[in-house]
Amino acid sequence: CLASHACWHDMRSETRAEKDQRMRWWRESTFGLFVHFGLFAIPAGYHKGRRVGRGTSEWIMHSARIPDREYAKYAEQFNPVGFNASEWVATAKAAGVRYLVITTKHHDGFCLWDSQYTSYDVIDATPFRRDIVKELKDALRGSGIALGLYYSIMDWHHPDAVLRKYNHLNTPPARANWSRYREEYMKPQLQELTAKFDPALFWFDGDWIEAWSEEQGVELYNFLRRLKPSLLVNNRLSKARKGHQGMNRYKHAAGDFGTPEQEILKEVEGYDWESCMTINDNWGFTKDDSNWKTTSELLRNLVDVASKGGNYLLNVGPAADGVIPAESVSRLRDIGRWLLVNGEAIYGVKRAQHAHGEGKMVRFTTPARERSVVYAVALQKLSPLRISNIRVDKSGGGEVRMLGHGDAHVLYESTDQGISIAWPPGT
């Protein structure tokens, strides 16, 4: 560069091949673990003995209108002595996830890492005095699981960010100054997070506040990608998303992938997306939330998402002692056991375009780089399993197999319309 301004480059203008290369590990991952952890795990959905909010216990500061000074007292109680990063990673590994996204700072503004820009963090404000993000980063080393950092743009604690709307207080302080918050706090913190933890992706949230604009989103996106060109960034720093669907309303919006929340998209073409979902009803730990999805339901979701070319980011909310609820752990382990047998139909796959299953109870994927193979996953036992638009070319070595059954071939009939498969005895 001859002049410094000539170095400015819009990171959204990379070629398709460059983007494909950058997105590759994430597209092939298919399955990730979301972790919502913070001060909100202490009240766990209850304020003064009353259950507050539905499905959003991590919003308790806002929903119970707890003044900042009062809420900050939870930091003095924050002592998750049961937190063991290696155990979290062992659970993630057993589940078969390929990346993990942790809330470094949720909407309440409390930071789970030792930030030099605030004393409202795990080291300075709590008796625990251990850097949770650092311990997690260390435990992930060599695990094959990439680290993603969730960061809320909205901040209910920082005095410069406390704005009238989406604020737990009625009167914002006169000195609130959004651009100062953005330039002197948020961006330096993101730079700090990048330098300290070298994340593979940033996962933004809290972008809906009035103070945030598409221009700021684009600027932040470029800022981050210049810090680390290979970074992936979700599209919640953009104003272009369509509600919770996380899809961009217009081209060239900031962000690499959409993040539909608690839902699976119907048909998606040419757009990267990730469906984030809770295992029970809340993101943060909630005392009496026992509405756990069954392992079968979670597996059906994972398969459904994979067959539509998306990723599934499944959430856990560790309790105040730092332990992931046993109900979540057992389900994650069950999913991992299923993936050990069936993972090749889930990781590194694409949507299989032409195959159709009877009754819509079958989902199809195809390896991203090997078009002659189609995986069919039945969401319920259909006997026989009928698949249309597919033919098996026996003369060319084509065959039908069931994953987990070694080389044993499956009995099937192939016609011009498709194939009809009988389940192997004993399955």
Binding site for ligand FHN (CB under 6 A): 56, 58-59, 205, 261, 276, 283
Residue whose CB is less far from ligand FHN, 245 or 420 = 245
CB count within 10 Å of CB 244 equals 13
- Which three-class secondary structure state does DSSP give residue 59? helix
Q: Which residue is nearest to ligand FHN (CB)?
A: 283
- Minimum gap (Å) between residue 282 Cβ and ligand FHN: 9
CB count within 10 Å of CB 5 equals 7
- Which three-class secondary structure state does DSSP give residue 67? coil
- Minimum gap (Å) between residue 193 Cβ and ligand FHN: 17
- Which three-class secondary structure state does DSSP give residue 332? helix
Residue whose CB is less far from ligand FHN, 283 or 347 = 283
The residues near 397 (Cβ < 8 Å, ≥ 6 apart) are none
Residue whose CB is less far from ligand FHN, 105 or 363 = 105
- Minimum gap (Å) between residue 286 Cβ and ligand FHN: 12
CA atoms within 13 A on the CB side of 40: 31
Residue whose CB is less far from ligand FHN, 97 or 276 = 276
Residue whose CB is less far from ligand FHN, 88 or 151 = 151
Whether the ω angle into residue 172 lies within 30 degrees of 0, i.e. cis, is no
User: Which residue is associated with the tokens 């217009």?
Assistant: 250
385 neighbors 362 (Cβ within 8 angstroms):
yes
- Minimum gap (Å) between residue 59 Cβ and ligand FHN: 6
Residue whose CB is less far from ligand FHN, 248 or 365 = 248
285 neighbors 55 (Cβ within 8 angstroms):
no
Residue whose CB is less far from ligand FHN, 205 or 272 = 205
Residue whose CB is less far from ligand FHN, 101 or 190 = 101
Q: How far apart are CA 209 and CA 360, in angstroms?
A: 40
364 neighbors 375 (Cβ within 8 angstroms):
yes
- Minimum gap (Å) between residue 313 Cβ and ligand FHN: 8
Buried residues in 45-83 as b, exposed as e (16+ CB within 10 A):
bbbeeeebbebbbbbbbbbbebebeebbebbeebbbeeb
- Minimum gap (Å) between residue 205 Cβ and ligand FHN: 5
- Minimum gap (Å) between residue 58 Cβ and ligand FHN: 5
- Minimum gap (Å) between residue 202 Cβ and ligand FHN: 14
Distances (CA, A) of 285 to 39, 277, 315, 392: 10, 14, 10, 49
